Amino acid sequence: MKKIRCPKCDNFVSFEEKNIEAGSIIGLTCEDCGKKFKVRFRVKPSTIAADALEKKNEEADADKYGTIVVIENVFCNRQEIPLQEGENVFGRRCPGTDINCPIQTSDMSMDRIHCTVVVKEKNGRITHYVKDNDSLVGTFVSNDILAKKEARIIESGDIITLGATSMILKFGED
């Protein structure tokens, strides 16, 4: 089973990839909003998955700034989000919200623009710190809430909690 996003409501629509050939068009209907739409495959879906996995492996090799691992819960699946140097803005994925690290979740206690993880490299040393973006429920680091305008240094293995969703910084030898 493969999933694709509905162009109207942005929820996932599942389809079977077995009989899809390159160049074929399939019609899908979103179970949530009822939108009917067609998808054209330029290549076989299994080829897309293999290419995506290869690209992900290449990115993992080049990833020197660490990764945020979103822990699976009732609101979302496990997700790995690679960090970039500079500001990495985290929040609930929502169409029209411009953030560079969206989390696919139904956790409404997580703001659409919840917190920022800043990655700085100075003299070959990489530092991570997190700050809250004035979210409604706050941002917690190891069960300790961040104060307004506080930027706290985080290390590999630290747990960051946004609403009911927790994530862990993985960096270095982890």
Instruction: Write the pLDDT tens digit of every residue in 86-134.
Output: 999 999 998 888 899 999 999 999 999 999 999 999 998 999 999 999 9
The pTM for the full model equals: 0.67
Percent of the chain topping pLDDT 70 = 86
Coil, strand or helix at 54: helix
3-state helix, strand, coil in the chain (%, to 5): 10, 40, 50
Architecture of domain 65-170: Sandwich (2.60)
